[in-house]
Amino acid sequence: MSTPRFPRSTGFWLQLVLTLLVSAFLIAPMLVSVLAGLTRNAFQGLGSGLTLRWVAQVLDSYLPAILLSVQLALLCLAVTLLVGVPAAYALARLKGRAARLIEEALVLPVAVPGLATGLALVIAYNGWGGFRQSIWFILAGHVLFTLPFMLRPVLAVMAASDLRTLEEGAASLGAGFFRRFFDVVLPNCRPGILAGSLAVVTLSMGEFNLTWLLHTPTTQTLPVGLADAYASLRLEVGSAYTLVFFVLIVPLLVALQRPGLRS
């Protein structure tokens, strides 16, 4: 027996048109910027011809910064997973006013401007020469900034799931703490972990304000290099840098979403 199909309402088509218009409004500037990085002269447009010269110049001049940003994003993801997921689990089990106060304290860096957070880190650790000059200093800032974006989605999923009942059922079957955590808690939190991972990677890759204060000439990241390219070089070079950013971030996002698509 075939399922009856109902005609689309006028409201549905209005919502669809509005969604497409908003999407075009947001995407069009990025497409224009990308095309500028592929043209010989951005002010003449496509009529000047297409070229990969500017992309090659970006890769030649800023490849270390690009690779450093990818490395930092993956390290930041690893640290926030190792810290954020257990922290969310502890807060979900603790509950009460103390848990809420701890949660608000962990989320506080999001409410503070990145420049203020970066300045605080510089003042606190400026005397630690080796640490101050290394990528670990930037990583500390990125973890501080992105940890709430891992903590909140995971905690929300845990709050929506009846984890206590599931764990009690697993415990009644003889499962120990680690068995319950890895076989019961983590699988049920996969949507929150996936959402947090996407947020952490994209925020770490694109973070500028905090990184601008924390970086040194030898630890320049992709967003800092992008700002430098737009400020000191031709518009085409900065636009090509934007294209390279998209080429890097889109495969990372797709790779992170694959586990969710298979579930």
Residue 79 has pLDDT above 90, yes or no: yes
Q: Is-contact 205 142, C-beta < 8 A?
A: no
> What's residue 3's pLDDT?
56
The model's pTM: 0.78
State pLDDT tens for residues 147-189: 999 998 998 888 887 777 777 777 777 777 788 888 788 888 8
Between CA 201 and CA 206 the distance in angstroms is 9
36 domain residue, yes or no: no
State the average pLDDT over residues 245-258: 75
Could you count the other beta carbons within 10 Å of the beta carbon of residue 196? 29
Domain with residue 182: its CATH number is 1.10.3720.10
pLDDT score of 72: 92
Contact 142, 83 (CB under 8 A): no
- 72 contacts 221 by C-beta, under 8 angstroms: yes
pLDDT, tens digit (0-9, with 9 covering 90-100), for 229-243: 777 767 788 888 888
In whole numbers, what is the pLDDT of the chain averaged over residues?
82
Strand pairing partners for 50? 39
Q: Does any domain span residue 63?
A: yes
Task: Work out how many domains the chain is built from and give that number.
Answer: 1
Q: Is the dihedral of CA 206, 212, 214, 220 positive or negative?
A: positive
Phi-psi region of 51 (alpha: psi -120 to 50; beta: other; left: phi over 0): beta
The pLDDT of residue 142: 92
Q: Is residue 27 part of a domain?
A: no
- Comparing C-alpha atoms, which of 156, 152, 72, 148 is closest to residue 110? 148
Note the pLDDT of residue 81. Answer: 94
> Is 10 inside a domain boundary?
no
Residue 94 has pLDDT above 70, yes or no: yes
Distance CA 79, CA 197 (A): 11
Phi and psi of 50, rounded to 5°? -100, 150
Predicted pLDDT at 6: 52
Question: Does any domain span residue 32?
Answer: no
Instruction: Give domain status of residue 15, yes or no.
Output: no
- For Cα atoms 205, 252, 147, give the angle at the middle one, nearest 5 degrees: 50
170 domain residue, yes or no: yes
Helices 235-262/53-94 angle, 10° precision: 40
Could you tell me which residue, 65 or 166, shows the higher pLDDT?
Answer: 65
Note down the domain range covering 125: 41-262
Answer yes or no: is 115 within a domain: yes
Question: Who wins on pLDDT, 196 or 160?
Answer: 196
User: What is the pLDDT averaged over residues 210-218?
Assistant: 84
